[in-house]
Amino acid sequence: METTQAFSSEFYTALLPELMLFAGLLALIIIPNLGKGTFRIPGTQIRLPWFMGGERYALTSNPHLPAWIATITLTGAFLAVGDSLRGGIDSLLVMSSDADEAKELLMINGFSRVFELIFFGALALASFASMNRLKVEGIGAKLDVEKLYNNRRQADFYILMLTCGLGMSVVALAQDLFVLFIGLELASFSTYVLVAFLKETKAGAEAGMKYFIVGSVASGVGLYGLSMLYLWAGSLQFDVLAATFATSGTEPLPLIGIGFVLVGFGFKVSAAPFHFAAPDAYAGASSPVAGVLATASKAMGMVGLIRMLLIVAAPESSEGSAVWLVCLGALAALTMTWGNLAALGSTNPKRMLAYSSVAHAGYMLAGLTAVGAWTWDPSFAGQEGEAALMVLTALLFHMVVLVAFKLGAFLVLSILESDGDASRLSSLGGLAKREPLLAFGMFIFMISLAGVPPMAGFLSKLMVIMGIVNVGVGTGAESLSDFHWVWWLALLMVLNSAVSVFYYLRVAVVMFFDAPEEGREGPLPSGWQVRTSIFACVLVTILVGIFGDSILEMCRSAAESLTTNW
Amino acid sequence: MQLVGFPVVAGIVLLAFVANAKKSAHEKLNNPIRMASFAFSLGLFAYTTAMFFDAFADITTSGLAFNDYKFQDSYEWFPALGIHWTVGLDALSFPMVWLTTFLLPVTIIATWHEKNGATYFPTLLLMGGALIGVFVSLDLFMFYVFWELTLIPMFFLILNWGGKDRKYASQKFFIYTFTASVVMLLGLVTLYLMQPEQIGAGGKYGTMTGRTFDIPTLVEHATAANQNGWFLGESMQKVLFVMLMLGFLVKLPAVPFHTWLPDAHVQAPTGGSMLLAGVMLKMGAYGMFRLPLSMFPHALQHFQLALMIFGMVSLVWGAIVCLGQTNLKKMVAYSSVSHMGVILIGIATMQPMGWAAALFMMFAHGIISPMLFAVCGAFKHHYHSMEIGAMRGMAKHSPWLATSMMFAWMASLGLPLLAGFVAELMMFIALWYFIDLQGWSVLWMVGPALVLALTAAYYLWSMQRTIFEGGDETQPPASLNGDVVPDITNEEKMAMLILAAFTILFGVMPWIGLDMMDDYCRTFFEHMISNGIFKGGA
């Protein structure tokens, strides 16, 4: 592992994607303001061209411009991350200085890169699709003020998208709980505003308010937990925390502290019982934003959980029966069951998807439990964490492919929203007749969420189940009673998948069978950007399911890079 | 392998073609798409028939050991997990593949005038491709993928072309079988992970997991381990056996897991029913032979009695329920349940002949039941009703339909010289052997014997009420609203004739298919006995 200091040249090359985001932010702030403004030198009549303000150019006042800037920036960052992942990257640790007592700040390795890939990919798709989602008024209108207003508003939205991405990537990179917390808050505040962005609608305002209140309470609790950890260890760095935990991890203080921190992250991944705000937030937010919440924001919460539980607390769990493991297992079981049962009863497709995302959080938590439990069988010890590696790979893979089909499903709803409404199941009625290709795409997303082969969702679910079972059976088990109890989580997971098929299929049935709602016949509003995004999602969902080996290898090396320091 | 790829690709290409065309042009597309699908399925049929003469016609003389496959082919798919695209055919899978390719063109002929043909026929092709995929795959992952994949075209066949309650039926069908198969999936995954690990072995073994999904390799492992004890340990083998069997029993279906079948059948369109009864139910039995029976023989011995009871109950219960049906299609559906009981009994006898009977039953029922459903479909199509007794004196109004119905009914109740008889006779002989061998009471024969009578009863009774009773021109069905009573169309006649011809062919010359099945069962039991897993003398 190489180390470097903040603001060294290596630091800049390694953080290229984040710097791109930063540049994009600046561009978003500056470019839409460019105009024919001039600057008069005081005391003279000389006016120098100043380019800021005044009557704006046609290009810079184009309401679509901010969206393009954001999309290009995010796509660029995505490609930069992808490029650095292709050759398999070395770990780079960024220290606060080159002194001996320097603190670890950021770690750039395969693990954080994969998460950046998830964040930027999801955000790029969402901002590209939002181009058709946010109403663009005033094109061709005489009133420049209105145009300006509209343009500004567009810029606000995409600035938030970028800050969200920036915060998320800080979370993925952080090696220090405090740095992590800053990133988390940056991303969280952006999402609070994004959720409330449709403030003209009651649902939007209410969703934003609820999400903000619950979210800030969760953050507050998490912060309280952090302070307890600091009180106990005297530092918030992962390596210090881990070392201290290994020696005195059974004290009540760190356990309580970790518990509080888990609440904070549990809210982000929308684990039951911290999920109550999620359905409201998803339903009130515009669909692409809801898609971001369900994919990128959730992955961000998972980073936090993985870091906390595996880096800090894993060494303690050597006997496989640590307290937090049991808690996490129970949480996983509760989350997946609650999510699925609630989804069965919801008739609003967005709420349904929200609950389905709660259920998926449960599956991921089950995987995480298995990672924590991998040391239960002493014979695993010789394998250098092979069993845990498999689950971690599965989790990463699941989060990567989830972007394609979860976000894709939200984008289809987004088109329906532009058509009028997507808050009832019947809004999807007759979609197969109105837009056969969209209905086909939605069907692919649904069966992928349900885990039907050969979609990517099947492969990822299979991987997670396989990982859990692998840990569960251990070596040399002769009967069910020889298994570790995480095996039963796998059983619960397949049963839950079976339940979930019902509500996913219901969508398909409504699309292909029911008549459209009154006055909603005919094709949906056009918008090639959102359609392109959906098409990309369909493509990824199918292709990764069939030829996903390289993605799997990528996740594998990412998981390895996390576990090398175990 | 071409067998899977071609129908799937052809189906997708045709569907994409249709999707691109304008709505108004769909009507015009029906005919070309139908012809293309038909020509394609005929080609496929010719191809598998050629395979038969190439490799399977002389199988008893050329010989094919247990766990040995023809046309075997393997490509890497997910090397990290040890997943390969492995295909191959043996006497177990080949008859099923042939049956699928045989039924595809016949189904297309029988449902020649189905509405929205432009999307219907490609969907049938997709269905066929997925079904063939199940039968040819020799990789657990690939097997499961195709196993689930068959649900999707069938779901749409029921949903788009089904009867009045199609919404309910298609969802019930999907959820029911999906639930069973995810439990099976957990079983498969557990089996996969409990096999001996070969870290860094490469090849068939996953680079990441050191394990393989390859069925021949797993069977090899299992046989080696079963020789001295239980593969994977006693209690684990039992658990896995139960988990896998659960998936297969629901698909088969055996009582009490059969409730999805009547709903699915009644609501499915004729073509869907033909493929569903003809091939899809056989997936359950096929899966049993391919996985649990080959890998867990000890558990099979342990659960022999349970299987026998499942079989008996399905056989008797299905037949009794048939008696009470007023809906023609429902009756035929329950008769399928009853016939699937025969397969289970055949397996549970653990006699080579019983197994051969089960295999031949799969095959014979695969030809006869599509004919039953074709008759039901024609009935519905022309009389707009499915009620027994809606049409009286059909022999006079619609002689073709009446004749086909009579033939199909007779074939299904096991008339000698027709395909179904051979299987039932063998099953009875094997059961008799088995009872004798175990020293059980002769009373065990009562159930199956009773069913013979019951089957005859429900078939003959329904025929009497439909074909013969009443008559003249006096009682045309009310559902026709006074229109002229029609007979079946030429295409339907054609399909009936083909199905009837093959029913007779395999009834008179069963050895065409039976030889290889018999060979399979013989080699299997020889293999098990020579490896000391089963005791000899059976």
- Separation CA B460–CA B467 (nearest Å): 10
Q: Pairing between strand A2-5 and A38-40?
A: unpaired
Task: Calculate the average pLDDT of chain B.
Answer: 85
The DSSP 8-state label assigned to residue A29 in this structure reads H
Task: Determine the pLDDT at residue B19.
Answer: 63
Collect all residues with Cβ–Cβ distance below 8 Å to B321 and sequence separation of at least 6: B334, B337
What are the angstrom distances between the C-alpha of A324 and each of A181, A327, A486, B128?
21, 5, 14, 50
- Tell me phi and psi for residue B77, to 5 degrees: -125, -65
Of B245 and B229, the structure prediction assigns the larger pLDDT to B245
The C-alpha atoms of residue B456 and residue A350 are separated, in whole angstroms, by 55
Distance CA A46, CA B377 (A): 91
Residues 6+ apart with CB under 8 A from B509: none
CA distance A123 to chain B (A): 29
pLDDT digits 0-9 by tens, B189-224 = 988 888 877 766 667 788 777 788 989 989 888 888
Q: Is residue B537's pLDDT more than 70? A: no
What is the b/e burial string over A211-226, where b = at least 16 CB atoms within 10 angstroms of the residue's CB?
Answer: bbebbbebbebbbbbb
**What's residue A320's pLDDT?**
43
Strands A92-95 and A2-5: parallel
More confident residue, B386 or A479: B386
Question: Phi/psi class of residue B336: alpha, beta or left (left: φ > 0; alpha: ψ in -120 to 50)?
Answer: alpha
Q: Summarize the confidence of residues B407-423 as an average pLDDT.
A: 89
Q: Which of A342, A357, A379, A337 is nearest to A471 (CA)?
A: A379
Per-residue three-class SS string for B236-276: HHHHHHHHHHHHHHHHCCCCCCCCHHHHHHHHCCHHHHHHH
Is there a contact between B187 and B253 (Cβ–Cβ < 8 Å)?
Answer: no
Q: Nearest by CB to B185, which of A386, A473, A494?
A: A494
| pLDDT at residue A370, rounded to an integer | 87
Name the DSSP letter for residue B85: E
pLDDT at A367: 92
Structure confidence at residue A248 (pLDDT)? 73
In the 3-class helix/strand/coil scheme, how is B93-159 assigned residue by residue? CHHHHHHHHHHHHHHHHHCCCCCCHHHHHHHHHHHHHHHHHHHHECEHHHHHHHHHHCHHHHHHHHH
CA distance B160 to A513: 7
Distance CA A323, CA A320 (A): 9
Contacts of A440 in chain B (CB under 8 A): 19
Opening angle at CA A62, ends A204 and A525, nearest 5: 55
Residues in chain B closer than 8 A to A548 (CB atoms): 78
Q: And the tokens for A65? A: 């411009």
Q: Please report the pLDDT score of residue A143 as a whole number.
A: 47
B253 prior amide bond cis, ω within 30: yes
Mean pLDDT per 10-residue run, chain A (566 residues)? 81 89 93 83 84 78 85 94 80 81 84 93 92 58 53 84 94 90 92 85 84 92 92 86 77 84 88 87 89 93 86 56 77 93 90 93 92 68 69 92 94 85 84 86 93 89 90 75 84 91 88 82 81 93 88 87 66
**Lowest-confidence segment of A136-150, A209-223, B145-159, B311-325 by average pLDDT:** A136-150
Question: Which residue of chain A comes nearest to B167, CA vs CA?
Answer: A509
Mapping DSSP to helix (H, G, I), strand (E, B) and coil, where does residue A38 land? strand
B421, containing H or E segment: helix B419-438
As to burial, measured by CB atoms within 10 angstroms (0-12 exposed, 13-18 middle, 19+ buried), residue A139 is: exposed
For residue B101, CA distances in Å to A35, B15, B134, B523 come to: 70, 20, 13, 27
Mean predicted confidence (pLDDT) in B151-165:
87
How many angstroms separate the CA atoms of A337 and A350, rounded? Answer: 19
Is B396 a residue whose pLDDT tops 60?
A: yes
Cβ of A553 within 8 Å of Cβ of B80? The answer is: yes
What values do phi and psi take at A564, rounded to 5?
Answer: -60, -30
At B1-41, the pLDDT tens digits run 566 666 677 777 777 666 666 666 667 778 888 888 888 88
Would you list the domain boundaries of chain B?
A: 303-538
User: For residues A335 and A358, is the Cβ–Cβ distance under 8 A?
Assistant: yes
Report yes or no: A164 and A190 within 8 Å, Cβ to Cβ: yes
Please name the member of B78, B190, B208 whose beta carbon is closest to the beta carbon of A390: B208
Whether B151 and A452 have beta carbons less than 8 Å apart is answered as yes
Query: In b/e form, how buried is each residue of A313-339, taking b as 16+ CB within 10 angstroms?
Result: bbbbbeebebebbeebbebbbebbbbb
Distances (CA, A) of B145 to A188, A389, B152, B243: 39, 25, 11, 17
Q: What is the pLDDT of residue B283?
A: 92
Are B313 and B341 in contact by the 8 Å Cβ rule? The answer is: yes
Cα distances (Å, whole numbers) of residue A395 to A82, A309, A369, A559, B398: 19, 14, 11, 9, 63
Q: CB under 8 Å to A405, separation ≥6 — which residues?
A: A444, A445, A448, A449, A455, A456, A457, A537, A541
Measure B451 CA to nearest chain A CA, in Å.
Answer: 35
Q: What is the pLDDT of residue B24?
A: 64
If residue A386 lies in a helix (H) or strand (E), which one and from where to where? helix A386-402
- The answer to whether A512 contacts B236, with C-beta atoms less than 8 Å apart, is no
Q: Which residues of B fall below an 8 Å CB-CB distance to A?
A: 19, 77-81, 144-145, 148-149, 151-152, 155-156, 159-160, 166-167, 170-171, 174-175, 178-179, 182-183, 185-186, 189-190, 192-194, 197, 199, 208-209, 233-236, 239
Q: How far is CA B262 from CA B107, B160, B247, B318, B466, in A?
A: 20, 18, 18, 11, 21
Distance CA A441, CA A534 (A): 7
Interface probe, candidates A363, A374, A505, chain B, greatest B C-beta count within 10 A: A505
At residue B393, the pLDDT reads: 76
Kindly report the nearest CA distance between residue A448 and chain B, in angstroms.
12
* Residue A209 structure tokens: 């308010």
| Token pair belonging to B140 | 């657990």
Q: Quick check: A502 and B148 CB within 8 A?
A: no
With CB atoms and an 8 Å threshold, state whether B178 touches A462. no
- Chain B hits for A551, CB-CB cut-off 8 Å, are none
How many whole angstroms from its chain centre is CA A250?
32
CA-based nearest residue in chain B for residue A456 = B145
Measured between alpha carbons, how far is A465 from B213 in angstroms, rounded to an integer? 15
Q: How is residue B465 annotated by DSSP?
A: I
Residues of A in contact with B155 (CB under 8 A): 505, 508
Backbone phi, psi, residue B197, to 5°:
-85, 140
Asked if this assembly's ipTM is beyond 0.90, the reply is no
Q: Is A495 in Cβ contact with B178 (below 8 Å)? A: no
Q: Is A58 exposed, middle or buried (0-12, 13-18, 19+ CB in 10 A)?
A: exposed
What is the helix (H) or strand (E) element at residue B468, kind and residue range?
none
Instruction: Output the six-digit token pair for A535.
Output: 């098409």
In chain B, the N- to C-terminal Cα span, in Å, equals: 38
Domain layout of chain A by residue ranges: 317-566
The answer to whether residue A315 neighbours chain B at the CB level (below 8 Å) is: no
CA distance B441 to chain A (A): 35
Q: Shortest Cα distance from A472 to chain B (angstroms)?
A: 9
B420-449 pLDDT, tens digit each: 898 999 999 999 888 888 888 888 888 888
Token readout for A555 is: 């996740």
Angstrom distance (rounded) from CA B362 to CA B520: 14
Strand partners, B413: none
Q: Which of B208, B15, B509 is nearest to A383 (CA)?
A: B208
For every residue of A393-441, DSSP letters joined together read HHHHHHHHHHIIIIIHHHHHHHHHHHHT--SSGGGGTTHHHH-HHHHHH
How far off is chain A from B156, nearest CA to CA, in Å?
Answer: 9
Q: Which of B318, B508, B497, B478 is nearest to B413 (CA)?
A: B318
- Chain B hits for A511, Cβ within 8 Å: none
pLDDT score recorded for residue A410: 93
Distance CA B206, CA A464 (A): 16
> Of the candidates B405, B260, B255, B379, which has an alpha carbon nearest to the alpha carbon of residue B327?
B379
Write down the pLDDT at residue A138: 43
Nearest residue of chain B to residue A434 (CA atoms): B23
Instruction: Specify the 3-state DSSP secondary structure of B324.
Output: coil
Pick from B172, B405, B142: which is nearest to A453 by CA? B142
pLDDT given at position A402: 93
User: Which residue in A532, A541, A539, A530 sits closest to A288, CA to CA?
Assistant: A530
A258, A225 in Cβ contact below 8 A? yes
Q: Which of A473, A490, A556 sits opposite B194 (nearest CB)?
A: A473
pLDDT value of residue A139: 45
Residue in B238, B183, B186 with CA at minimum distance from that of residue A473: B186
Q: pLDDT tens digits for B46-77? A: 888 888 888 777 776 667 778 788 888 888 88
* A contact test, residue of B178, B181, B260, B302 with most A CBs within 10 A: B178
